[in-house]
Each structure stands twice: as structure tokens, then as C-alpha cells.
């Protein structure tokens, strides 16, 4: 059998609404050609993010009814803690309302002004929280990843030699932690190999620096290791994930991704002293350590989700579905970041629309056209988001977990190929107004 089917059936459905291209043109005009400013009810297929958008399972909903909403010592916390300890081997499990809250607490406690924190690629909230703490966020991605077209297995790897050089230049005392993001979201959803995690750990611990995983998409990373890294074909995703975490001294985690939860995050560590400082800060802004900004039912959803996400049938379908979208558009001439990542496909809009210069925002122009043509929402990751620091002009199509079916994906493929056929007629955009920071959320554009 060739067809990879969804390993679930549907019990509860949520209608999505068709609109006409004339309606969408009006909506775009009213929203200043910014898809963040279009209401969700006017979107047919929403590929803005895979974060917090997952469909929960019957078991998760059932567990939510068992949520213990006690302020202190909730049973739901202990259930979640057992699952996380079993998976990560990390002793201290601190719940937060989402990933960035874990980041803020970690960097507030661990970073001093002028210090440096390396990562394969920092996600925007990670970078922003490091900079907010007065430290510097440095990306040390393997140079192999610079070529978006190279079909390599582990383009999320950290450049280990560059890490050695950074430690030599800055001094180990100036680097409070090393981070690895699995999978590398900002770099195209590309995985990191076990060998690379081990090599980074070896360097970090030789210098007495703790290693942290930004573990949002740990299960997708584990699946890629099983498929691509010699020696892991017979391992279960859980065994691989456990080995990945065995190298980590701590982790930050957004449960909105690979825990199928709609909200939630975690900060974990093996350092007893650090855990005390972190929970003190947690109480100040998130809540008591056995709920940390979440309801007991959210903790239940996370506990169940963390076990479900490691099921081989789910991961096989998940990665195949993302790959299906990527291969079908790429094999018909749409340039994507190769190979397809775990949670998203990234179209290289600068290559697809060579007639639209960087300062006319080719990826934003493509996002606008894909919405106008087919009601699909995606997100620009290029000059609108990063200004002059943008390395590429990418359009991200992030796939919510367990939400869309194969025919939804076929519709997306069809729509992108139709837009590709008339790409020469797509015009660029100019900014009409923008806020002082994080402009992608609220800037307004006009067509050129």
C-alpha cells in the first residue's frame, strides 16, 4: 500500500468557510495586505502556524475532565511530571503558560549583561528574551544549510567548530549555556542528528557549560533520526527522544507543538540551585510550581499529548504529509527549502518571484496572492519579519497537527501550482505604515 492515511478518524468537526476571491480582495484591502489582520473566520486553510493549533484526541479530552484544579499539589501536575521525567530524565519540571515564559525565566536567572548564548538558530522569542536580559544571541548553524536547495539529512546541525571558536574567543565563563533547537524552526524545520547533539555536548561539558534543548518539536526530530541516521532504524521514537534528552542539562519546551496542547510550556533542569531560583520567579509571574500559569486540565492534555506524539503511526503520517506537500510543489517547479522539514514547508519566494526585488517583499507578496487566490493563510519569514537581517525571503506553510486531511493538502498543492503558473504577474508591496518593533504583526502595505 502506497497511500499514507491519517491514523485517526474524525469525531467532532469544525466548519471552515468558503469565500470568493472578490471578498478576499476586499478583506485584503481592509487589512492592509497583512494576513495577521485578517480574521480567522475568513480563512479557509490556516497554515499560519503549527503552534497551539493541534487537534486534541479523545484521550486528551477525557483526561481534561480529570483535571485537578487544586491550587497546590494538583494530581494533574504529578501525572504530567511523571511523563516528562520519564521522557527527559530531567528532575525539575516547571510548568509555564507557553514556551517563551520558560525562556524568560531561564534567561533572567542564568544570563548576565554582555554574555553570549549560542544556538543552531534561535527562534525569534528566544533571541528576544536573551536580548531583553542584556545578553547576545548567536546562531551557529552548519554552513551546509546556507544552500536552500541542498538535499542533506541534518541541515539543523550546529557548527561544532564554530562553537569551539566562539568559546575560545568569548571565554567559557561568558557563555552561561549552549542551546540546540530541535527541529530548527527558523532554519526550515530541519532536524539535528544525534551525533551532532553528542558532539555539542562534548564540547560544552569540556568547558563546564550546560547544554539545553529547545525541544518544541523533539518527536519530529526523533523520527528523522530513526529514518536517516545510521544505527537508529530499530529504535522506537521514544527511545531516540530519551537519548536526545540524555545529553541535555535542561530544556525549554512549548507544549503548543509536539504535545498537541493548545497552550502550555515547560522549563526543565537537573540543577537543584537553579530550580529554586526559577520557581521563585515562576511564583512571581506565572503561578505556584504545581500549575505555573496553566489549568490542571491543560497539564493533563500535555501529559497525554507527550505520549501520543511518539506513536510511530502518527509520526510516519505527520512527516509523510509534510513531505507530500513539499515534494508535490517542488517537483512541479516551486522552489522550496530542501529537503521538506517536519512541521512546515518553506517556499523560497525570492527564487519563485525573481522580478520582485527584496525591498518589495516577495514572500509577503506571495502570501497575499495565495490568500487572494485560494483562501490559504501562510506567513512571511523574510524582510518584513527581519528587516535588513533577513537571510532569505521565505514563505512558511506550517501544518497544524492532525487538523487537515489529505484532500486539504491536495487543495493546497493545487492552489500553489496555479499561483506558480501566473507568478510573473504577481506584483510587489510597499509598506504604508509600521510599528517601531515586531512590524510583521501590524504593518500595512499597498500593492505596487
Long-range contacts of 418-426 (CB under 8 A, 24+ apart): 418/373, 418/374, 419/366, 419/369, 419/370, 419/373, 419/374, 420/329, 420/332, 420/333, 420/334, 420/352, 423/352, 423/353, 424/355, 426/353, 426/356, 426/365, 426/366, 426/369
How many C-beta neighbours within 10 Å does residue 425 have? 9
* Ranges within 100-119 binding ligand F0G (CB under 6 A): 100
* Ranges within 44-63 binding ligand F0G (CB under 6 A): 49, 51
**CA angle at residue 104 from 287 to 146, to 5 degrees?**
145
Strand ranges inside 133-185, DSSP E? 136-139, 178-181
Q: Which of 54, 57, 60, 98 binds ligand F0G (CB under 6 A)?
A: 98
**In the complex with ligand F0G, which residue's Cβ is closer, 187 or 428?**
187
Residue 106's nearest CA partner among 211, 226, 225 is 211
Query: What does the DSSP 8-state code read for residue 253?
Result: E
To the nearest whole angstrom, how small is the minimum distance from the Cβ of residue 99 to ligand F0G? 3
Q: From 120-128, 165-173, 238-246, 384-392, give the range in contact with ligand F0G by CB under 6 A.
A: 120-128
**In the complex with ligand F0G, which residue's Cβ is closer, 99 or 118?**
99
Binding to ligand F0G by residue 341, rule CB under 6 A?
no
To the nearest whole angstrom, how small is the minimum distance from the Cβ of residue 88 to ligand F0G? 16
Q: From 13-21, 61-69, 97-105, 316-324, give the range in contact with ligand F0G by CB under 6 A.
A: 97-105
Q: Which of 67, 95, 99, 340 binds ligand F0G (CB under 6 A)?
A: 99
**In the complex with ligand F0G, which residue's Cβ is closer, 125 or 242?**
125
For 409, the enclosing helix (H) or strand (E) is helix 406-421
Which x/- pattern over 237-256 shows residues binding ligand F0G (rule: CB under 6 A)? Answer: -----------------x-x
To the nearest whole angstrom, how small is the minimum distance from the Cβ of residue 148 to ligand F0G? 18
Residue 5's nearest CA partner among 345, 420, 313 is 313
* Ranges within 183-202 binding ligand F0G (CB under 6 A): 185
Number of residues binding to ligand F0G, judged by CB under 6 A: 15
Q: Please answer whether residues 271 and 249 qualify as being in contact, where contact means their C-beta atoms are separated by less than 8 angstroms.
A: yes
Instruction: Supply the Cα-derived Rg of the chain in whole angstroms.
Output: 21
**In the complex with ligand F0G, which residue's Cβ is closer, 60 or 254?**
254
Burial class (CB in 10 A: 0-12, 13-18, 19+), 195: middle
Strand ranges inside 285-419, DSSP E? 344-348, 376-377, 379-381, 394-398
Which x/- pattern over 123-142 shows residues binding ligand F0G (rule: CB under 6 A)? Answer: x-xx----------------
Residue number closest to ligand F0G, CB atom: 99
Q: Which of 181, 196, 279, 364 binds ligand F0G (CB under 6 A)?
A: 181
Strand partners, 180: 213
Which x/- pattern over 200-239 shows residues binding ligand F0G (rule: CB under 6 A)? Answer: --------------x-x-----------------------
Question: Helix, strand or coil for residue 81?
Answer: helix
**What are the residues binding ligand F0G (CB under 6 A)?**
49, 51, 98-100, 123, 125-126, 181, 185, 214, 216, 254, 256, 265
Amino acid at each position: 500500500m502506497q497511500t499514507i492515511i491519517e491514523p485517526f478518524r474524525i469525531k467532532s468537526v469544525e466548519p471552515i468557510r468558503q469565500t470568493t476571491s472578490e471578498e478576499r480582495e476586499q478583506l485584503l484591502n481592509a487589512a492592509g495586505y497583512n494576513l495577521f489582520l485578517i480574521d480567522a473566520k475568513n480563512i479557509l486553510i490556516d497554515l499560519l502556524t503549527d503552534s497551539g493549533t493541534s487537534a486534541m484526541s479523545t484521550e486528551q479530552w477525557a483526561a481534561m475532565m480529570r483535571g485537578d484544579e487544586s491550587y497546590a499539589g494538583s494530581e494533574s501536575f504529578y501525572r504530567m511530571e511523571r511523563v516528562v521525567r520519564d521522557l527527559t530524565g530531567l528532575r525539575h519540571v516547571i510548568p509555564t503558560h507557553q514556551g517563551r515564559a520558560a525562556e524568560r525565566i531561564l534567561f533572567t536567572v542564568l544570563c548576565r549583561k554582555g554574555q553570549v548564548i549560542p544556538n543552531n538558530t534561535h527562534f525569534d522569542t528566544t533571541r528576544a528574551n536573551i536580548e531583553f536580559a542584556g545578553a547576545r544571541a548567536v546562531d551557529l548553524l552548519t554552513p551546509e544549510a546556507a544552500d536552500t536547495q541542498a538535499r542533506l539529512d541534518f541541515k539543523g546541525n550546529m557548527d561544532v567548530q564554530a562553537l569551539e571558536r566562539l568559546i575560545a574567543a568569548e571565554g567559557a565563563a561568558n557563555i552561561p549555556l549552549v542551546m540546540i533547537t530541535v527541529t530548527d524552526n527558523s532554519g526550515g524545520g530541519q532536524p539535528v542528528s544525534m551525533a551532532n547533539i553528542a558532539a555539542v555536548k562534548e564540547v560544552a561539558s569540556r568547558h563546564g557549560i550546560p547544554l539545553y534543548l529547545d525541544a518544541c518539536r523533539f518527536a519530529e526530530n526523533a523520527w528523522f533520526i530513526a529514518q536517516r541516521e545510521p544505527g537508529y532504524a530499530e529504535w522506537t521514537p521514544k527511545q531516540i527522544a530519551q537519548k536526545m534528552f540524555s545529553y541535555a542539562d535542561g530544556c525549554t519546551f512549548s507544549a503548543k507543538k509536539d504535545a498537541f496542547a493548545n497552550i502550555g510550556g515547560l522549563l526543565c533542569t537537573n540543577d537543584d540551585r537553579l530550580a529554586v531560583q526559577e520557581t521563585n520567579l515562576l511564583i512571581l509571574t506565572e503561578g505556584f510550581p504545581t500549575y505555573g500559569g496553566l489549568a490542571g486540565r491543560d497539564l493533563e492534555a500535555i501529559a497525554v499529548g507527550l505520549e501520543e506524539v511518539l506513536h510511530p503511526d502518527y509520526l510516519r503520517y505527520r512527516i509523510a504529509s509534510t513531505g507530500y506537500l513539499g515534494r508535490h510543489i517542488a517537483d512541479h517547479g516551486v522552489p522550496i527549502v530542501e529537503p521538506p522539514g517536519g512541521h512546515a514547508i518553506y517556499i523560497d519566494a525570492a527564487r519563485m518571484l525573481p522580478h520582485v526585488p527584496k525591498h518589495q517583499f516577495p514572500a509577503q507578496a506571495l502570501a497575499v496572492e495565495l490568500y487572494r487566490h485560494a483562501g490559504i493563510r501562510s506567513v512571511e519569514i523574510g524582510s518584513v519579519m527581519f528587516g535588513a537581517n533577513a537571510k532569505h525571503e521565505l514563505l512558511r506553510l506550517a501544518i497544524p497537527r492532525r487538523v487537515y486531511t489529505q484532500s486539504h493538502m491536495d487543495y493546497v498543492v493545487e492552489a500553489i501550482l496555479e499561483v506558480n503558473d501566473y507568478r510573473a504577474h504577481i506584483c510587489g508591496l510597499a509598506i504604508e505604515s509600521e510599528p517601531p518593533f515586531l512590524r510583521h504583526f501590524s504593518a500595512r502595505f499597498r500593492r505596487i
